[in-house]
Amino acid sequence: QPPAEPMLAQALDVAKNADTIVAVLGLSPDLEGEALSVSIPGFVGGDRTDIALPRPQLDLLKALRKTGKPLVLVLTSGSAVAVDPTLADAILEAWYPGEEGGTALAETLAGKNNPSGRLPLTFYASVDDLPAFVDYGMKERTYRYFTGKPLWSFGHGLSYTRFAYDNVAVKAAGMGQPVQVTAKLTNAGSRAGEEVTQIYVVTPDAGKQGGFTTPVLQRQLAGFHRVALASGKSTSLSFALDPRSISSVARDGTRRVLPGAYRLWIGGGQPGDGPGQWADFTLTGEAQELPK
């Protein structure tokens, strides 16, 4: 815990001579981890009691923003960090990148590398959006059960180019058979890049299926695939969704594929997060139980 004021003054002095500010902030394994002897605001023994930036870093970020210079925020962490998006012109999540992290960061910010990563978890706006951790229910946890608006959703990620989806088709052969999904993907931007195509499935209302009392899910990730495309080029995408990837789980742990109407989203993120298209399909017959 070095004194914050002298370090803040030093950072602002350096920023005066900068054309663009790259602020590397976030957490470290000294703060988040198992059974650490840490007891400072936001952290207790390696556990986090808040998901915001540590207060000295937040003060630094606000002071840097007031300089009016272009500001890139690089977040390092092993978990989600809540930060006001208006405090930076661009935000790059670096996690804990290792010894080549500096090279990767420089190449990405300079445009030599076109980023294509996707978030493997939800970034919430505040710890107030989450239930108390003495509650082990799934309500309001993860992208499947969270009903609020996250800062950045599971599967989110930007690129220096643009992608477009077209000609989406779904073929459901029958209960217990893979669901075939095809689509056309086009790099509609001016640079080569990689797209992580994701498929989310909205299952039927299981609560109305004869005592099968699983909660109604908003959507669930059923498949994904990374594709590299040059500018202006297109390719055909093909997915085979196995029964398990579109199944529902009851409170007693029973996993089944349910009959009924399904909705499917294929795109570069969750519905509403980036380009993509909806499609519908229906499964008929009796519910099929699957191995746990």
pLDDT for position 82:
96
Taking alpha carbons only, the member of 133, 274, 290, 247 closest to residue 193 is 274
Distance between CA atoms of residues 269 and 119, nearest Å: 10
What confidence tens digit (pLDDT) does each residue in 251-262 have? 788 899 999 999
What confidence tens digit (pLDDT) does each residue in 10-59 have? 999 999 999 999 999 999 988 888 888 888 888 888 888 899 999 999 99
pLDDT tens across the length of the chain (292 residues): 678 899 999 999 999 999 999 999 999 988 888 888 888 888 888 888 899 999 999 999 999 999 999 999 999 999 999 999 999 999 999 999 999 999 999 999 999 999 999 999 999 999 999 988 787 888 888 998 898 999 999 999 999 999 999 999 999 998 989 999 999 999 999 999 999 999 999 998 755 555 544 455 578 999 999 999 999 999 999 999 999 999 988 878 889 999 999 999 999 999 999 999 999 999 999 999 999 8
- Longest CA–CA separation in the chain, Å: 70
Distance between CA atoms of residues 259 and 86, nearest Å: 45
Domains of the chain and CATH, by start: 4-113 (3.40.50.1700), 163-290 (2.60.40.10)
Distance between CA atoms of residues 52 and 92, nearest Å: 16
Q: Report the predicted TM-score, pTM, of the whole model to 2 decimal places.
A: 0.91
